[in-house]
Structure 1
Amino acid sequence: MASGRTKTPARMEDLAVLPLFFRLKGRAVLVAGASEAAAWKAELLAAAGADVTVCLGGETACDELLALEAVGRIGLATEGWQAAAWRDLCLALGDCESDAEAAAFAARAKAEGVPCNVIDKPDYCSFQFGSIVNRSPVVVGISTDGAAPILGQAIRRRIETLLPKSLKGWAGLAAGLRDGVNARLKPGG
């Protein structure tokens, strides 16, 4: 250090990944693939309010995708992800059979500036999904950075037993009181 100052210790230890929470309500998301794995991701994204289009690429949609389309949760497109309009996408997810397809999918997403996840191929992902505890609006995300998915699931099950289902109602009540409390109290540290 040229200035001669001592280095202050970091307030945060190094993280393997940064946990982020995306607001997806009404935002366009592309899912490529016709499999049950693609259906699970599409359902998860739709639950977060995303406008999900699943590009089948000539494959036959699995029953789960057909059921999601039937209730209006997702849209199905027969063309492949290569022909999709990427301009306004918020996220892109692909269920790619080969490493070559995964590399092409990730390269397209990067060129378009769209964060992407290739299911079960972490080397091609710019973000990853963790285990989720859903007491929305309270959402807890758990990641092991792919090192031990079973451990992440075990932690999720433990947290689910600790957080009652009624937490959703408590969070709603707190949100309703927030403005009134903030108007009466001065901001603190």
Structure 2
Amino acid sequence: MGDQTFLGPGKTVNTNQKFTVVTQFHTNNNQTSGTLSEIRRLYVQNGKVIANSKTNIPGLGTFDSITDSFCNAQKQAFGDTNSFEKLGGLQQMGASFDKGMVLVMSIWDDHEAQMLWLDSDYPLDKDPSTPGVSRGPCPTSSGKPTDVESQSPDATVVFSNIKFGPIGSTY
């Protein structure tokens, strides 16, 4: 969030090379029976563990993981409705995990927002200097599904070596 030097071609996590994403779900007591309190992301590339970048958005504070405090600060800084908190935040998310979840990954395009929410200026009706609007270097004219589908009809992605286990065991 705000660090456009971290993830991309030739950047700290170089997307031109293979890398591993490690997502850790921490609880308040560091046990599987605890309440979900933090979601932390790490990257591994060329044998090196890379910590997630820190937020760099005025008025947001400094965060490098997802916590209820981060979610609340992000919603306030961006002027968004805080539906996550209203729905119970990380505690409720953890309770949902306890009921069972299915991991789903895919390659896709976005007919609604043209993936601009990921790496461009979005929403389009806001000034790019507004906190949270400038999300990456892609032009707002990019990401049109008709372009993506016609120019890359055989696009593929490889998800491999999927692992789960105790924290620290899946690198």
> What TM-score results when the alignment is normalised by the length of structure 1?
0.24
Q: Which has the larger radius of gyration?
A: 1
> What TM-score results when the alignment is normalised by the length of structure 2?
0.26
Higher relative contact order (CA 8 A, sep 6+): 2
